[in-house]
Chains A and B, each alone.
Chain A
Amino acid sequence: DAMVIQNPRYQVTQFGKPVTLSCSQTLNHNVMYWYQQKSSQAPKLLFHYYDKDFNNEADTPDNFQSRRPNTSFCFLDIRSPGLGDAAMYLCATSPGRFITDTQYFGPGTRLTVL
């Protein structure tokens, strides 16, 4: 089945140690999003790619970076994780950026920072 896949589902890293989260999709969608969802809070958009164009949210910390080497894959890099970066990270895709384009979410990666 076509879907959004996130690996790993659970990631543990040490304070300050770079970590990369992975997202892949078989939907051939143009847009890929990364959200941060802290415990008991709303998902918050970090950035998105429209094809190869990177779109950063104004309040996303510089510590968070992203790469999209091809249509299918998108990576979230956290250069120096702090304790406050512990969260669920959700990847989503959509065919385009029209208001009617539904976003399809992956199951998320839960990041623990020790």
Chain B
Amino acid sequence: AQTVTQSQPEMSVQEAETVTLSCTYDTSESDYYLFWYKQPPSRQMILVIRQEAYKQQNATENRFSVNFQKAAKSFSLKISDSQLGDAAMYFCAYRRRETSGSRLTFGEGTQLTVNP
């Protein structure tokens, strides 16, 4: 079974600074996707960024980028120039490729606080 581990239950960052959230996962599969989701307080969870396992290039979406280390099964999220609106719970998630569809397996989340 696949597992996703986020070892940092809470993180904080000063506004305008950079923060990195950690995620490790365990799988025997070679074809899968990894995701970071953001869940602001009392609002819906939204996709921040995703990475295909076969792509060596790290994904980037504006101020959000990942450091994907396939051999180490590590998938960290870097948030640059942190803004107050980045404060949220961040979930790392894994999904393997299956013909009939497959579940998202989530980590337990990291609560990010952004200090003004």
Contacts and interface: CB of A to CB of B under 8 A. Distances in A.
Contacts of A41: 108
Nearest to B109: A42
Interface in B86-115: 91, 95-98, 100-109
A102 B42 contact: no
A105 B45 contact: yes
A97 B101 contact: yes
Contacts of B107: 42
Contacts, number: 53
> What class of interface size applies to chain A in its complex with B?
20 to 34
Interface of A is mostly: loop
Interface residues of B, number: 27
B11 interface: no
A100 B108 contact: no
Given A42-B91, A99-B33, A105 B44 contact: yes
Contacts of A99: 32-33, 95-98, 102
Contacts of A90: 45
A50 interface: yes
B52 to A, nearest CB: 8
B6 to A, nearest CB: 9
A107 B46 CA distance: 10
B47 A102 contact: yes
Contacts of B32: 99
Contacts of B50: 102
A98 B37 CA distance: 18
A13 B43 CA distance: 22
Q: What are the 6 tightest A-B residue pairs by CB atom distance, in nearest-first order?
A: A97-B101, A42-B106, A105-B45, A107-B44, A105-B44, A99-B97
Given A99-B102, A102-B47, 12 more contacts: A4-B44, A40-B109, A44-B106, A55-B101, A92-B45, A97-B102, A99-B97, A100-B33, A103-B47, A103-B104, A105-B44, A105-B45
